[in-house]
Amino acid sequence: MSTALPRAGRIHVREPDTAPMVAFRTVDGGGRLFVMGPRTRASYLAPKDVPHCVTVRLRPETARPLLGAPMSELVDQIIPLRDLWGVRADRLADELAGLVTGGDWAERVMARLEAAFLDRLAAQSPADLDRAGLVGAAAALLSVGAERPPVTEVARELGVSERHLRNLFTGGVGVPPKRFARINRVRGVLARVCREGAASLAADAGYYDQSHMTAEFREVMGVPPNAYRAGRLPVPGTCSVG
């Protein structure tokens, strides 16, 4: 969900991520469930004391059938799960709050969440699951290596039209295929930027040159790679979950 940079004190970086998350937190003695939609840009947060928190990162092919809404409507948003699931979300949150006892509470919460998600997916129609599988296959192809295939090639390999793939992918993942690949490319740089030089990073990630990587990194992360590496980050805001 977030990382902390030693040079930046206690600023937490919520990384850009094409995968939505479901977060459970204890609040005022009870439990709440939130959906964090796909994040197209990084956010920088001040620390927040949360007694208990569990997050689940959803796979591209499960997000839409699991949550019951197009991911394109949830981009860069954080909403209560009840907005999508109704009272079932509140009942599940209360049940999870009752599991928060003892040292292994997180494992029990994760197991109950997994069971609830599997029940939800089992209730989907075969047609919905087929479409979800196509989204997952496209996401996998668009995530392979630095030289990611063009969308036309991915559509051809999956046996669908490019237009159909774009529409299905955007609804299932939240962003179009090209933006999906761009965000994941920056995430790949982000994982290595604090220990490797910019020139080698740019070449390995498939950028035209170092300036291309720097511009794309700045667009998504809000600062260039050198500033990020040095811990010169934007002024942190506050987390809106909870």
d(CA 172, CA 175) in angstroms, rounded, equals 8
Name, in order, each residue with C-beta under 8 angstroms of 230's C-beta and a sequence gap of 6 or more. Answer: 7
CB atoms within 10 A of CB 232: 13
Q: Give the per-residue pLDDT at 145.
A: 62
- Could you identify the residue written with the tokens 């669908």? 160
- Could you identify the residue written with the tokens 């290596």? 145
Cα-based distances in Å from 133 to 6, 61, 139:
40, 6, 10
Helix (H) or strand (E) holding 170: helix 162-173
Question: Residue by residue, what is the 3-state secondary structure of 10-57?
Answer: CCEEECCECCCEEEEEEECCEEEEEEECCECCCEEECCCCCCCEEEEE
Q: Give the per-residue pLDDT at 30.
A: 87
d(CA 80, CA 113) in angstroms, rounded, equals 15
Mode of pairing for the β-strands spanning 43-45 and 12-14: antiparallel
d(CA 58, CA 21) in angstroms, rounded, equals 6
* pLDDT tens track for 104-157: 999 999 999 999 999 999 999 999 999 999 999 999 998 866 667 889 999 999
86 sits in the region (left: phi over 0; alpha: psi -120 to 50; else beta) called: left
> Do the Cβ atoms of 75 and 34 come closer than 8 Å?
no
d(CA 91, CA 112) in angstroms, rounded, equals 12
The one-digit pLDDT tens for each residue of the chain (242 residues) are 444 343 445 788 899 999 999 999 988 778 999 999 999 999 998 877 667 889 999 998 899 999 999 999 999 999 999 999 999 999 999 999 999 988 899 999 999 999 999 999 999 999 999 999 999 999 999 886 666 788 999 999 999 999 999 999 999 999 999 999 899 999 999 989 988 888 888 888 888 889 999 999 999 999 999 999 988 988 887 766 55
